[in-house]
């Protein structure tokens, strides 16, 4: 669209807000943008509508159709209300849970959503103040609700907020509910369609009772209470990165039996401005700097951080040279799966009917551990709604041990249906105590897993291609990989190709084709080589990126081989990148 035509359309949309039934503060802000010499801000606010996607809403806060504000949040809540009323028309009372994180406007959006649900005759359980995302999932199940929402933008920068919707099992929605709710939200085209006047009688404030039930449930996950008793003074540095983790994670650690939780006081401050970090994301080394500094001061055993809505956890440990290093998401998932399966086995809990779940881009070493212990391993798409979907399908038939993904999310329980940093922090502290009980550090435990089950290293690479031309380029790259797949990668023959868009797997050795058993198609390609390298390629669904996930295998015969294995793996990853031209 030409600039003049775009500006004309934007001005027309902005004028509708000026003429409509919007509040005066909103209108004043629109007038300011419309009269500004530079119209960039106005264009960004109105050039498109903020989409309610399969994960809900996420965007920059501000006025306009392409921003998170009371009207876009209101339309989402009204659409969800309409769908719930149609789906559960036989119930005498439909109910929902509302939670929110530490972000600016989160409480306001939560209260407005509560008013809209209640105005539609829906009972609302609203948390008294900020709480971890997994607790909302827990509360939906615990209170027997039909749905729930959490106001959060996870680990996005401070300008953002978001709106995540759940179904009655406490999981994010999958088909058909996800697309059906989107359709209902898209029908809300006028501000008059949104019922903003709440019914206070239908809004109940919740807090401590749910907190206690949630913590009590998490305590049932403990598998090594004796080790905790012996190492109750374990030095744990924890930071919530200004977010919701501060409300429950120190308490969960204490109730597990840990007495020496060391805080980073500056980051205990609840703030949607995240004053001590550029990005409140535990994947980013910079976000962990203050906690690692504190760990050095006190000679800690482990560093743990949760993101602002406390669904993801990052950890740092001391290596064999006494240096603090960050443990990546694949390694964290590996530690959880190894520990859970081993302790279940030692405690006689494995009956042959258990399973774990990982996403298709997560390390294959998890499958190695599961296979060798006769535990079934499910592969699913990226995103915890798919892990929750596997749990739902197996409910009452098989026993869930745990599931995770490479992007720092894990779930060691089925009474929550989203990733959970509260239970993960408690359990990771227990794993540290259990390892110490055997005279090992967490780093040495990770090395021992590699020794027993094989060494692997993973690297994620994102290539940014902005604008329409960038989107076209990404499509062309995917088309080229699909139509002209590599015959070898880094000198190793490609032996298996999985195409999740056609749901077909080709074995190039036997030339056989077989179906991939997945619940839906997805634009993801995977290449497996003779020496065990795995490459996954997919366009990002939310950003102008094409993502490559590289996993290479190596050899370790003793802990002393670790550094050499790491060096060789990095060389192999460089060779893979050169082969693929990335």
Domain final position from 324, 354, 372: 324
Mean pLDDT of the chain: 96
Given this model, what pLDDT does residue 542 score?
Answer: 62
CA angle 377, 381, 387 (to 5 degrees): 60
Of 43-52, 375-384, 441-450, 541-550, the range with the lowest mean pLDDT is: 541-550
Tokens of 277: 């970090």
Q: Which of 219, 245, 258, 154 is nearest to 413 (CA)?
A: 219
Total residues found in the chain within this entry:
582
Residues 84 and 198 in one domain: yes
Tokens of 114: 């509560």
H or E element at residue 290: helix 285-298
- For residues 407 and 330, is the Cβ–Cβ distance under 8 A? no
Is the pLDDT reported for residue 375 higher than 80? yes
Does residue 320 form part of some domain? yes
Per-residue model confidence as pLDDT tens digits over 189-198: 999 999 999 9
Residues 301 and 337 in one domain: no
Is the pLDDT reported for residue 174 higher than 80? yes
Does residue 365 form part of some domain? yes
C-alpha 349/C-alpha 334 separation (Å) is 20
In the three-class reduction of DSSP (H, G, I as helix; E, B as strand; rest coil), residue 546 is classed as strand
Tokens of 491: 């000198």
Per-residue model confidence as pLDDT tens digits over 456-488: 999 999 999 887 778 889 999 999 999 999 999
C-alpha 303/C-alpha 572 separation (Å) is 30
Mean pLDDT of 237-259: 98
Given this model, what pLDDT does residue 2 score?
Answer: 57
Residues 293 and 337 in one domain: no
Q: Which of 236, 270, 239 is nearest to 256 (CA)?
A: 236
Mean pLDDT of 254-259: 98
Given this model, what pLDDT does residue 471 score?
Answer: 82
Query: Binning pLDDT at 50, 70 and 90, where does residue 36 land?
Result: very high
Does residue 529 form part of some domain? yes
Residue showing tokens 């239908």:
202
Residues 56 and 194 in one domain: yes
Residues 556 and 416 in one domain: no
Given this model, what pLDDT does residue 466 score?
Answer: 81
Tokens of 504: 């077909």
Q: Which of 545, 535, 544 is nearest to 580 (CA)?
A: 535
Residues 57 and 196 in one domain: yes
Residues 152 and 193 in one domain: yes
Largest CA distance in the chain: 73
Total tally of structural domains belonging to the chain: 4
Is the pLDDT reported for residue 126 higher than 80? yes
Domain final position from 157, 175, 206: 206
Is the pLDDT reported for residue 63 higher than 70? yes
Residues 52 and 187 in one domain: yes
Does residue 527 form part of some domain? yes
Respond yes or no: is residue 579 known to be catalytic.
Answer: no
- For residues 580 and 478, is the Cβ–Cβ distance under 8 A? no
Residues 371 and 360 in one domain: yes
Given this model, what pLDDT does residue 381 score?
Answer: 95
Mean pLDDT of 15-40: 96
Residue 129, phi then psi, degrees to nearest 5: -160, -165
Domain extent for 294: 213-221+229-324
Given this model, what pLDDT does residue 1 score?
Answer: 43
Tokens of 342: 């081993």
Q: How many CB atoms lie within 10 A of CB 265?
A: 9
Residues 145 and 234 in one domain: no
Active-site residue among 118, 137, 147, 154? 154
Does residue 35 form part of some domain? no
Mean pLDDT of 275-281: 95
Does residue 1 form part of some domain? no
Of 109-118, 152-161, 212-221, the range with the lowest mean pLDDT is: 152-161
Domain final position from 453, 477, 507: 453
Does residue 248 form part of some domain? yes
For residue 268, what is the domain's CATH number? 3.40.120.10
Residues 6+ apart with CB under 8 A from 564: none
Tokens of 555: 């050899």
Is the pLDDT reported for residue 164 higher than 70? yes
For residue 565, what is the domain's CATH number? 3.30.310
Residues 280 and 428 in one domain: no
Does residue 335 form part of some domain? yes
Please list the residues that pair with 304 across neighbouring strands.
238, 315
Cα 305 from chain centroid (whole Å) = 14
Residues 94 and 130 in one domain: yes
């Amino acid at each position: 669209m030409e600039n003049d035509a775009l500006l004309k359309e934007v001005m027309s949309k902005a004028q509708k807000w000026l003429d409509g039934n919007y509040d005066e503060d909103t209108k004043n802000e629109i007038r300011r943008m419309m009269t500004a010499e530079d119209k960039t801000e106005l264009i960004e606010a109105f050039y498109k509508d903020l989409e309610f996607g399969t994960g809900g809403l996420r965007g920059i806060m501000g006025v306009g159709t392409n921003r998170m504000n009371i009207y876009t949040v209101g339309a989402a809540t009204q659409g969800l209300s309409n769908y719930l009323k149609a789906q559960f028309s036989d119930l005498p009372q439909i109910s929902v849970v509302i939670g929110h994180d530490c972000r600016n406007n989160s409480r306001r959006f939560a209260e407005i959503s509560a008013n809209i649900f209640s105005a539609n005759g829906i009972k609302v359980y609203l948390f008294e103040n900020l709480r971890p995302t997994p607790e909302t999932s827990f509360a939906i199940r615990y209170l027997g609700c039909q749905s729930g929402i959490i106001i959060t933008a996870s680990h996005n920068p401070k300008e953002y907020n978001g709106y995540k919707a759940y179904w009655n099992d406490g999981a994010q929605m999958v088909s058909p509910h996800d697309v059906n709710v989107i359709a209902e939200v898209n029908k809300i085209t006028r501000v008059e369609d949104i019922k903003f006047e709440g019914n206070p009688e239908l809004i109940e404030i919740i807090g401590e009772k749910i907190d206690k039930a949630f913590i009590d449930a998490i305590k049932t996950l403990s598998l090594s209470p004796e080790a905790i008793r012996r190492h109750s003074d374990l030095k744990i540095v924890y930071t919530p990165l200004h977010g919701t983790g501060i409300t429950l994670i120190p308490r969960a650690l204490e109730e597990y039996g840990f007495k020496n939780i060391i805080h980073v006081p500056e980051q205990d401050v609840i703030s949607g401005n995240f004053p001590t970090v550029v990005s409140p994301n535990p994947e980013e080394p910079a976000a962990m700097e203050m906690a690692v500094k504190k760990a050095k001061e006190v000679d800690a055993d482990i560093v743990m951080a949760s993101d602002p809505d406390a669904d993801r956890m990052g950890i740092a440990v001391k290596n064999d040279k006494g240096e603090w290093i960050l443990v990546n998401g694949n390694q964290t998932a590996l530690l959880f799966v190894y520990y859970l399966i081993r302790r279940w086995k030692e405690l006689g809990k494995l009956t042959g009917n258990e399973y774990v779940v990982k996403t298709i881009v997560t390390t294959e070493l998890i499958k190695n551990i599961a296979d060798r212990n006769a535990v079934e391993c499910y592969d699913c798409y990226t995103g915890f709604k798919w892990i929750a979907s596997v749990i739902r399908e197996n409910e009452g038939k098989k026993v869930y041990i745990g599931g995770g993904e490479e992007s720092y999310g894990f779930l060691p329980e089925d009474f929550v249906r989203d990733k959970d940093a509260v239970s993960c922090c408690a359990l990771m502290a227990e794993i540290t105590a259990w390892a110490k009980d055997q005279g090992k550090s967490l780093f040495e435990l990770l090395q021992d897993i590699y020794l027993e089950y094989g060494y692997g290293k993973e690297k994620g690479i994102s290539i940014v291609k902005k604008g329409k031309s960038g989107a076209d380029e990404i499509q062309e790259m995917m088309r080229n990989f699909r139509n002209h797949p590599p015959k070898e990668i880094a000198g190793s023959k490609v032996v298996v190709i999985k195409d999740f868009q056609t749901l077909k797997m080709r074995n190039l050795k036997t030339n056989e084709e077989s179906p991939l058993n997945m619940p839906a198609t997805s634009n993801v390609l995977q290449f497996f080589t003779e020496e065990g390298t795995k490459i996954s390629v997919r366009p990002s669904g939310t950003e102008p990126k094409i993502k490559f996930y590289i996993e290479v295998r190596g050899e370790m015969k003793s802990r002393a081989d670790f550094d050499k294995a790491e060096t060789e793996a990095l060389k192999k990853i460089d060779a893979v990148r050169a082969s693929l031209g990335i």
